[in-house]
Structure 1
Amino acid sequence: MRSCGIAFLLALTTLCACKRSEDQAAKARIFSPDDSTSASADAKDPIDATRLADDPKFAGRILRMQQAEVAARLGPHRAETRVQFAWFRGPGLPDGGSDVTLSEQSALAQGPNEDFLVREENDRNQGFELIRAKGEVYVRGLFGPFRKRRTDRTEPERVRELAMGSVPTFDRLARGLKLKLAGEATVEGRRVVRYQVVGGGTRTEETDLRELPPIQYPQGADGKKGPDPDTARRLELWTKEEPTQLSGTVIVDKQSAVAIGADLQGHFRVPGNNGPAAELDLHSVLTTSDIGKNPGIKAPEVEPAPSVPHAVKDPLRFLGKAPAAPGAASTEEPAEESGDEEEAPAEAPPPAERARRR
């Protein structure tokens, strides 16, 4: 009997050890630095920067290049984007329709060893700043102090992509920019290739080369699986929008085949289902400077995060008002009934007595 008990304890200990090892492996995988080998491998692919007008695939490859690959190709640099957009819907309606306008400005300082700084703000005094230095991430609001954040909560690479996403977004809205070679020039001592935008629609279908599982949509009220209404409207934008006017220039670094400059303007239209169409005016600007110069990114001074109390799992029991068991008498004390007459307030002492008390 004792041998059976010892064997059971050994098996239980082994199972717990395996579970702990799996938990430790999962935790190490979640908090480990991102694997940048794929971006480094892509950065080694030679790209002819003069062929963007001949092959739409080359144009899409450069205009939608990920920032990790841009950093691997250019090295340390600074980049800035400025975006102005205005949505209009039903300007011919009696009430004048509706409009939404916004201007955003994003700045990126890319350093060596995957360190970078991202700052984004708009014309409504909203924004943030994110610093990644030596594998640690620090974030602050536009007017607040820096605080250290866990990398699994901030997704610094995704923040960098969104901040520098003006040109890729414009190319996607245009369904692939059609470019015309406009010659070569020199910018900051580097040879560049200039292109002029002459149209769009070179890529009618979007393809995702990543190995991802199929999207699992939830089941709706009608019993069919599909996206919720808000998600459906966002997806509908990419399938129904039509570019009506496109113009601008694109500057590509000849050595690294990276788009280091752009000035793009476009007008897009999204047909309405049962109402007027929505129209978008978009102006995107990209500038790049200090290529090859280390911006000297360092960890900032941080303030500790404010302590937050743990959430109460059972609020009723925490307040001493747990529900009584079926058939049991309630443990709550009955509320005292207030009398018809209110208790008179205590009479204040005279001023002389108050002075003596002091």
Structure 2
Amino acid sequence: MTRFSPSVVAAVLALSASACRPDEVDRAAKARIFSPEDPPKVVASAAEKLNPQDVADNPRVARRILSMDAAEVTERLGPHAYTATITTEWTGAQNSGSNRLTETRTFRAGPGGVGGDFHGVMENSRDQGLEVMRVGGKVYARNRYGVFRQRLRDRGMAERTRSELTGAIRDMDVLFRDRLHLAAQGTVTYEGRTAWRYQVSLGPEGNTGTQPVVLPALATPKGGRDETTRRRLAFFEHRVPQSLSGEVFVDAATSVVLKVRLDGRVSVPANDAAGLAELRMVLESAVTEIGKDPKLQAPENFLPDADKPQGIADALDRFGIPRNKPEGSTPGAAPAPEDPPDEP
């Protein structure tokens, strides 16, 4: 019987291990590359079970439900319609008058979850607004009285608009420093569904169920901030919630907010930026047509996507104003230099 030395056996084993290792590494790499992609985070969030009965006693659950994004709502509910009316009224110092603005929002979500079709419109009492559609993965947008333009390089604009359109209660909760407190009042039937009804009041300061976000300090321009910026910063830094009332309906099956009616006041004490001011905000919103496909279609007439608007040149052409161009020159070409005058 032939015997091999220990060194020979060790060398053979090392060669065998080195020969097998690349195959194992390749198999692991291929498994990672060709494995199914992880679902979007919103899909995982929509699968989380949130008990509406915990809203009154658990601030984290309350903030989680009140701040639920439109994409997650669509994953939980399916097709639906959303309408909201927001009225804001500013009142300044005595005899300074008030400033009132009413904003209406409508949103329709089709089937397909987070990647499905949707149509959103936002308008206000000052004749301003916008409209955004996503149909078949293509995005179209326009201002209130404009013409739709296709947005081939959307880069998330449609999704951000969807979130802003349907986030009224989330924004109002932030405005009142996360102090929107919900007290359970039993169940009701809404749109044929069982919903928990909560009475709203202004909660105490303290544990709001959210983690404070530490942001970097704001950069200050060399010449100082303008008056408008100083007023806005003063409002957000010094705002004091005064009162809040209303009711909120939360779907028992999906934990989605279905109906909202809120009326609140926020005051800002006099400071270096401005005098005493008070803001009253009223919100009414409702989710309807749950499960009904709106059958959204792309607009019949729309402008193609443009790399760069023509700007002033386009405006001149639109109003029939001729452009002053040297004879025989081409658009965009620099004018030819004039000949110097003859010397005497």
- Please indicate the TM-score interval, normalised by the length of the shorter structure: 0.7 to 0.9
* Residues 180, 146 of structure 1: alpha-carbon distance in 2 compared, 3 angstrom cutoff: same
Q: Which of 63, 66, 71 is matched with 1:68 structurally?
A: 71
Shift of 1:154: 6.7
Give 1:122 shift: 1.4
Q: Counterpart in 2 of 1:253? A: 251
Q: What is the TM-score normalised by the length of structure 1?
A: 0.69
For the residues of structure 1 that align with 2:311 and 2:231, how far apart are their CA atoms? 37
Q: Is the 8 A contact 1:243 1:269 kept in 2?
A: yes
Gaps spanning 5+ residues in structure 2: where?
Answer: 1-37, 314-331
Alpha-carbon distance in 2 for matches of 1:215, 1:227: 17
Matches of 2:61 and 2:209 in 1, distance apart? 15
CA separation of 1:233 and 1:294: change in aligned 2, threshold 3 A: same
Q: TM-score, normalised by structure 2?
A: 0.72
- Contact 1:321-1:332 within 8 A present in 2 as well: no
Aligned to 1:356: none
Query: Does 1:149 find its partner at 2:151?
Result: yes
Corresponding residue number in structure 1 for 2:165: 163
For 2:196 and 2:209, the matched residues in 1 are separated by: 26
Shift of 1:299: 1.2
Partner of 2:236: 238
Where does residue 128 of structure 1 map in the other structure?
130
Query: Within 1, Cα distance between the matches of 2:268 and 2:107?
Result: 32
Percent identity between the two aligned chains:
33
Q: Deviations over 1:210-265 (max 9, x none)?
A: 9x9x647445328xxx9876555434433321111110000000100011110000
Partner SS, residue 107 of structure 2: strand
Alignment check: 8 A CA contact 2:139 2:154 kept: no
| Alpha carbons of structure 1 residues 234 and 253: separation in structure 2 relative to 1, 3 Å | same
- 2 CA distance for matches of 1:279 and 1:217? 25
CA apart distance, 1:99: 2.5
Secondary structure of 1:87's aligned partner = strand
* Equivalent residue in structure 2 for 1:266, among 264, 267, 273: 264
In structure 2, distance between residues paired with 1:250 and 1:151: 38
After TM superposition, the structure 1 = structure 2 runs for residues 324-339 of structure 1, keeping only pairs within 5 Å, are: none
Asked whether the 8 Å contact 1:218–1:227 carries over to 2, the reply is no
Residue 104 of structure 1 corresponds to which residue in structure 2?
A: 103
Distance 1:233 1:259, change over 3 A: same
Contact residue 104 and residue 123 of structure 2 kept, 8 A? yes
Structural mapping, 1:209-248, within 5 Å: 215=216, 217-218=218-219, 220-221=221-222, 230-231=228-229, 233-248=231-246
Give unpaired runs (5+ residues) of structure 1: 1-34, 323-330, 335-358
Query: Once the two structures are superposed, what CA deviation does each residue of 1:48-98 show, in whole Å capped at 9, x if it has no partner?
Result: 0111111111111111111111111111100101001101111x2xxx224
Query: What residue in structure 2 maps to residue 339 of structure 1?
Result: none
State the SS of the aligned residue for 1:138: strand
1:196 correspondence with 2:211:
no
Cα deviation code 1:148-177 (max 9, x no counterpart):
123436701111122122211111122221
- Cα distance in structure 1, aligned partners of 2:133 and 2:149: 10
